[in-house]
Structure 1
Amino acid sequence: MEFDYLATVLLSSLSSASILLIATLGLAVVFGLMGVINLAHGEFLMMGAYSALVATQIGIPYPLAIPFAVLVTMAFGALVEVLIIRRLYGRIFDTMLATWGLSIVMYQVAVLIFGTVTPGIGMPSYHIAIGDYQLALYPIMMILVAAAMAGFIYLLMTKSSYGRKARAAIQQPDMARAIGIESSQINTLTFSVGCGLAGFAGAILLPIVPATPSMGFAFVIKSFLAVVVAGPVTLTGSVVTAVGLGGGSSITASFLTSVAGDVFFFVLTAVLLWLFPFGISSKWRKKM
């Protein structure tokens, strides 16, 4: 086997794993910190993509359209938390049902406004060469984006005053209120941050995955499974599972077929959940 081809496959697989991680981190924050299973996560990703697309269509440069998309999804996420999620804490099945209904509404609204097919913005035409093979540069850049996102979330949740308050508000809400932490405001902000991360994912992946009402479906199942397999150490665990499951699936698809890659992903997920029913990180000492 040619070394150049092997290097190309490995780099492409790491890129695919990074794309999965980018799409997963918002869900990891909401599920890991708040215990909320947001089944509308894919639609928040879709909202971010459409927000960035509309921004570019009215003349905003694409790099500035990304923070615009983040702000839009954060604002809508805060509204959803206040109107829906806040009333359902501790009722996980009710939360799943509510967010599933929200996902249907968001999908249908997107269809009514944008239709089922939407033009993309096109991927930058830069490439990197590895011997006789070429790879598009933009997907490879997602490796750096995923690493930056994971680092940002880790620092936000462990080193900032907000992060300490957020973990306290979820883990010990009564004690948090006793020392003056406004749990309701912190929870709203945390859910908003998770939705903003989903919006960022949709916006940053727009050149790779064109905006359509159903674009979130391509990510939400694998993202949810990655978070479940990760277990209680959501951030570090999600990085490991996204790289392992996503990268392994991509390598399998490169040598066999895309269907074989998906089979690898779901079979390995089932095996890991059988071996580690509480997630691979259930016995880790690290808690973030």
Structure 2
Amino acid sequence: MVNQLIIWLLNASTSISVLVITSLGIAITFGLMGIINFAHGELVMIGAYTVLVLTQAKVPLVWAILMAPIASGVVGLLIERLVIRHLYGRTIEILLATAGIGMVLSQLVTILFGAQSYSIPIPTATVTLGDQAISIYRLWMVLSAVCLVGLTYLMFARTRFGLEARATALNPEMASARGINIVQVHRRSFVLSAALAGVAGAILAPFTSVSPSIYTLLVTRAFITVLVGGPAVVSGTAVSAVTLGSVESAIAISTTPAFGQIAMLVCAIVLLRLFPRGISGAWGKYL
């Protein structure tokens, strides 16, 4: 019984961490900017391939992970400057443009690296809990998710940029009248979202295989998490990830992972039926 509980807690914390890590960037563009960025999966992919290239060049894994958000952030800046900034306020056009950009990035990576999957060695250190040997990397991934949530919350709650971003999301006309540069705020928010996508790809790269198509499913799950989370960009996304990840793990451990994913989708549908504006719509906060 104790071992089963340990296994469930480990699987649940891992599933929740994956949802949190992949969802935060989407929550910023969708929750604060109202943009559906269909190229987010490819930005995650860029972070993963950055880690792959650097580790193959014998760069330590820690430094490779730190470089990944820079690479994705730079690509995000180019996308925003060249395309997105001309389409603000035009939801369908942005959706189509980012979908096209995502296809281009995916094909470029396929041309450069091929369509095969690559693996990145995970540090082999483990800790023992009960009869279970738990990978240090999985625990570090859980800690990274907690730290990302905390840092993102502090950024939007305690910095001038966060104040301007929230003001722009709530009332862009009033924010502009108070002297806030809306275009600059949108640009910084989009680059931050891209950098968080790079962090997600970097952290998950050793945990999963690296290929051009593997991140589509992860980002689809992340979109569902953000929708269920509602308008509170950080807390809503976190609560949604905990809820959906726990349900998925509870069902998967007693049946199969496929049924776990089905249960997660059913839970998301039920929650959206009960809370049409998302879970956080009930408490009316935007962080």
Q: Structure 2 CA distance, aligned partners of 1:280 and 1:40? A: 26
Quote the Cα distance in structure 2 between the aligned partners of 1:185 and 1:249: 39
CA shift, 1:57, in A, is: 2.2
**Per-residue deviation at 1:227?**
0.4
Q: Which residue of 2 aligns with 1:130?
A: 129
Question: Separation in 1 of the partners of 2:85 and 2:7?
Answer: 47
- Identify the range of structure 1 (145-154 vs 274-283) with the bigger mean alpha-carbon deviation: 274-283
Partners in 2 of 1:66 and 1:9 — Cα distance? 28
Shift of the alpha carbon at 1:272? 1.1
Aligned residues: 287
Structure 1 stretch 2-11 or stretch 234-243: which is displaced more? 2-11
Give distance in 2, aligned partners of 1:139 and 1:175.
45
Confirm or deny: 8 A CA contact 1:5 1:133 kept in the other structure: no
Measure how far apart 1:285 and its partner are. 3.4
% identical equivalent positions: 39
> 1:239-263, CA deviations, whole angstroms, 9 ceiling, x for partnerless residues?
0111110221022111110111011
TM-score normalised by structure 1 residue count:
0.95
What is the CA RMSD across the aligned residues, in angstroms?
1.5
In the TM superposition, what whole-angstrom CA distance separates every residue of 1:178-229 from its partner, at most 9, and x where no partner exists? 3332221221111000010000110111110122101211311110001011
Q: For 1:141-220, list aligned pairs within 5 A.
A: 141-220=140-219
Q: Give distance in 1, aligned partners of 2:117 and 2:262.
A: 30
Match of 1:233 in 2: 232
- Name the counterpart of 1:49: 48
Query: What does residue 257 of structure 1 align with?
Result: 256
* Corresponding residue for residue 279 of structure 1: 278
Deviates most, 34-43 or 6-15: 6-15
Contact 1:41 1:216 in 2 (8 A): no
Residue deviations 1:151-175, cap 9 Å, x none?
A: 0000001101111122223333333
Point out where structure 2 has 5 or more consecutive residues left out of the alignment.
Answer: none
Letter in 1 for 2:116: V
Further displaced range: 176-185 or 260-269: 176-185
What's the CA shift for 1:137? Answer: 2.2
In 2, distance between residues paired with 1:48 and 1:183?
Answer: 28
Structure 2 match to 1:16: 15
Please state how far the C-alpha of 1:136 moved relative to its aligned partner.
2.0
CA-CA distance at 1:15 after TM superposition: 1.7
Instruction: Report the more deviating stretch, 73-82 or 277-286.
Output: 277-286
Please say if residues 231 and 285 of structure 2, whose CA atoms lie closer than 8 Å, have aligned partners that are also in contact: no
**Which position in structure 1 is the counterpart of 2:101?**
102
2:36–2:95 contact (8 Å) kept in structure 1: yes
Counterpart amino acid of 1:80?
A: I
CA drift of 1:19 comes to 1.5
DSSP-derived class of the 2:279 partner: coil
1:266 aligns with 2:265: yes
Tell me how far apart the structure 1 counterparts of residues 93 and 274 of structure 2 sit (CA, whole Å): 29
Secondary structure in 1 matching 2:280: coil
- The CA distance in 2 between the partners of 1:133 and 1:91, in whole Å, is 52
- Of the structure 1 ranges 253-262 and 136-145, higher mean CA displacement relative to structure 2 is found in 136-145
CA–CA separation in structure 1 for the residues paired with 2:244 and 2:58: 38
Q: Using structure 2 for the length normalisation, give the TM-score.
A: 0.95
Offset at residue 37 of structure 1 (A): 0.8
Does the CA-based 8 Å contact 2:275-2:282 persist in structure 1?
no
Distance (whole Å) between structure 2 residues aligned to residue 250 and residue 189 of structure 1: 35
Displacement of 1:69: 1.1
2:27 aligned partner: 28
Report the CA distance between 1:274 and its aligned residue. 1.4
CA distance 1:137–1:218, change in 2 (3 Å): farther
**Contact 1:8–1:130 (8 Å) recurs in 2:** no
Q: 1:135: how far off?
A: 2.4
> Unaligned 5+ residue runs, structure 1?
none
